[in-house]
Amino acid sequence: MVMTVGKDKRESKRVPIKFQVDFHSDGHFLIEYATNISEQGIFIQTNQPMKKGTRVELEFSLPDSKLKIKALGTVAWVNPYRNNPEKDYNPGMGIQFENLSDIDRETLLNCIKKVAVL
């Protein structure tokens, strides 16, 4: 029997990139930073991640773009905050996009291509 440990299940390549993201859900409005993005989702670094399955509204501008991207998403996974200053656990949440418009998807893909080449 062959087991694959830690196999990445993503269908799209993630690229490391840091930019500000405004998001809200159930009356809570937060501003945090995304640390990577793909065509299908985004990772938001935060010490207060929302629960898996939470729907969120996102708004952000990618570096080198003046266009605002607005999207709905669902928290797909959570890396909880652990109060241990000796280790960097990278707390936050992975959010899967649900409804990117064609223009937002094209803007996103162009940014990912630029960053992936660098």
Label residue 19 by pLDDT band (50, 70, 90). very high
pLDDT at 91: 92
* Rounded Cα distance, 20 and 22, in Å: 7
Q: How confident is the model at residue 88 (pLDDT cuts 50, 70, 90)?
A: low
- 21: which DSSP letter? E
The third-level CATH classification (topology) of the domain covering 15-117 is: Thrombin, subunit H (2.40.10)
How far apart (Å, rounded) are the C-alpha atoms in residues 112 and 72? 19
Question: Which one-letter amino acid corresponds to residue 114?
Answer: K
94 vs 110, residue with greater confidence: 94
Mean pLDDT of 91-104: 93
Identify the pLDDT of residue 37. Answer: 93
pTM (two decimals): 0.83
Examine the pLDDT at 1 and tell me if it is beyond 80: no
Query: Cα–Cα distance between 35 and 77 in angstroms, integer?
Result: 15
Structural domain boundaries in the chain: 15-117
